Chain A
Amino acid sequence: MASFFDRLGFNRKGSKETLKDRLELVLAYDRAKIAPGKVDALREDLLAVVKKYFPTEGSNIEVEQRGDTIMLVANIPLEKEGAPGKR
């Protein structure tokens, strides 16, 4: 989102930064030949499954770019007390 200062052009971080972020992501998907929305859907599904077994809140699955490959990276903290998940 462009802030008040972005609009004025006072901030060094202009719309270019937004563009760079968007371009990096869109190019990663282009190169991987996969639709961004599909990865989003997959992520939601995976999170739902993870939640079923590990009912912790801290799980997240993110799209990351490593070199020219795009990866789904999952961080799933396991409960310390060994509390069994709902089944």
Chain B
Amino acid sequence: MNAKVIVVTSGKGGVGKTTTTANIGVGLAKLGEKVAVIDVDVGLRNLDVVMGLESRVVFDLIDVIEGKCRLQQALIRDKRVENLYLLPASQTRDKDALDPEVFKTAVKQLIEEEQFDRVLIDSPAGIESGFRTAAAPAQGALVVVNPEVSSVRDADRIIGLLEAQQISEINLVINRLRPKMVASGNMLSEADVLEILGVKPIGIIPEDEGILVSTNIGEPAVLGQSVAGQAFMATARRLRGEDLAFPKLEEDRGFMAVLRRLFGGK
């Protein structure tokens, strides 16, 4: 994707926006980009805990916007990967505290003054003001979708709204795909989703217990070797333009999974 500022969104809640933001953010930083991940879910911040940086929050996005601190003071540097920063949302304020135009200026400052290569914005669920604010500074979007009816429907709606906001580069991340259910004809496949939405996926992430474990310990899955972690890493590479095929997904269970956990990290 050419877009430097990318909103991660879905319409429907709980499909994996925050997980995707954290993992793609870490993935891109591992590939050498200077990355900022921003939590725009004001009042319900979560990206800090998913990234395992919650204990280091001092200032937040609203503090920056209200001039209570400088932008650099609110950026939390992730010590595990070079050039990765988190800008947390405020937990004590509500959505109205964040004006889209002011937010745009802050993001512009990240790109133009702080020389970030990429800014990923974790959008709140829904299609109202929170989503609109999150999308305001973006030139590109990652639409996260689960292969099930309400998520696909909401994704279609979101894609329409993004296009109306002149966001040109829209890519799909299919999350929580269950290969066995796809094989047995009980879950939409990536081809079905492509056919229905008309948008090509840039990432296909399987359902993986490893995601829960990595969230529990605050270490994004891309830092380990779980199947979902590898799928996120491949997604980050595609996002940077690498032409990577989609490997055949297998559910991470059984003996091989145990070996992988034993020798390869999380």
Contact = CB atoms under 8 A, between A and B. Distances in A.
A33 B217 CA distance: 23
5 contacts: A2-B213, A9-B261, A25-B55, A35-B59, A37-B58
Contacts of A18: 216-218
A15 interface: yes
Given A8-B258, A8-B262, A26-B49, A2 B217 contact: yes
Contact of A7 (B55, B76, B216, B261): B261
A22 interface: yes
Contacts of B92: 33
B91 A16 contact: no
B54 A22 contact: yes
Contacts of A25: 54-55
A58 interface: no
B258 A30 contact: no
B262 A37 contact: no
Contacts of B57: 35-37
A40 interface: yes
Given A22-B218, A26-B49, A7 B262 contact: yes
A66 interface: no
Interface in B177-217: 212-213, 215-217
B104 interface: no
Interface of B: 49, 52, 54-60, 76, 91-92, 212-213, 215-218, 258, 261-262, 265-266
Interface string A4-22: 1001110000111011001
Interface in A14-49: 14-16, 18-19, 22, 25-26, 30, 33, 35-38, 40-41
Given A19-B216, A19-B217, A30-B91, A7 B266 contact: yes
A80 B122 CA distance: 55
B49 A22 contact: yes
Say which size band chain A's interface belongs to.
Answer: 20 to 34
What 4 A-B pairs come out closest when comparing CB atoms? A37-B58, A15-B216, A19-B216, A15-B213
Nearest to B76: A37
A36 B266 contact: no
Contact of A15 (B56, B91, B217): B217
Contacts of A37: 55-59, 76
Nearest to B49: A26
B126 to A, nearest CB: 22
A30 B265 CA distance: 32
A40 B216 CA distance: 22
A65 to B, nearest CB: 14
Contacts of A2: 213, 217, 266
A35 B60 contact: yes
A9 B59 CA distance: 37
- Counting chain B CB atoms within 10 Å of each CB, which of A2, A14, A33 scores highest? A2
Given A36-B56, A36-B57, A38-B58, A16 B216 contact: yes
Contacts of B215: 19
Contact of A41 (B54, B58, B213, B261): B58
Contacts of B258: 8
